[in-house]
Amino acid sequence: MRGATSPFRDRRVAKRQVAKLEVYLNNQPVRCRATTLDISRCGVFVQTNRLNFSVGTLVDLVFIQREAKIINLLRYTAIVVRHYPGGVGLRFCTA
């Protein structure tokens, strides 16, 4: 049972939405292209096999939004809060 004191309780502030978005991650000297698995107003989980993203690292994100012949680039800064084989959990930084 998952109660209020359970260690399995989901502590997210914002609800996640499944989202397959193209994103570029930049953490000098590492730059890579990846795909998101889910996103919320507070953060994103990015699927990547790069091992250079350690917890606490700041990462620049560039989301690619394609609509017909228009391409929008959406830029954010995030901090690595989780690191798993195959991906990283990132929390968006506020300005």
Mean pLDDT of each 10-residue bin along the chain, 95 residues long: 48 78 88 93 91 88 91 94 92 85
Give the model's pLDDT for residue 11. Answer: 60
Helix, strand or coil, per DSSP, at residue 15: coil
Q: Where do the H-state alpha helices sit in the chain?
A: none
Q: Considering its fold, how many domains does the chain have in total?
A: 1
CA-to-CA separations, 21 to 50, 69, 70, 95, in angstroms, rounded:
18, 17, 16, 23
Give the model's pLDDT for residue 78. Answer: 97
The two structure tokens encoding residue 17: 């939405």
Give the model's pLDDT for residue 6. Answer: 46
Give the model's pLDDT for residue 28. Answer: 81
Give the model's pLDDT for residue 95. Answer: 62
Per DSSP, 14 falls in state S
Whether residue 66 lies inside any domain: the answer is yes
Whether residue 3 lies inside any domain: the answer is no
Residue 67: give its domain's CATH number. Answer: 2.40.10.220
52 near 27, Cβ under 8 Å? yes
Give the model's pLDDT for residue 3. Answer: 44
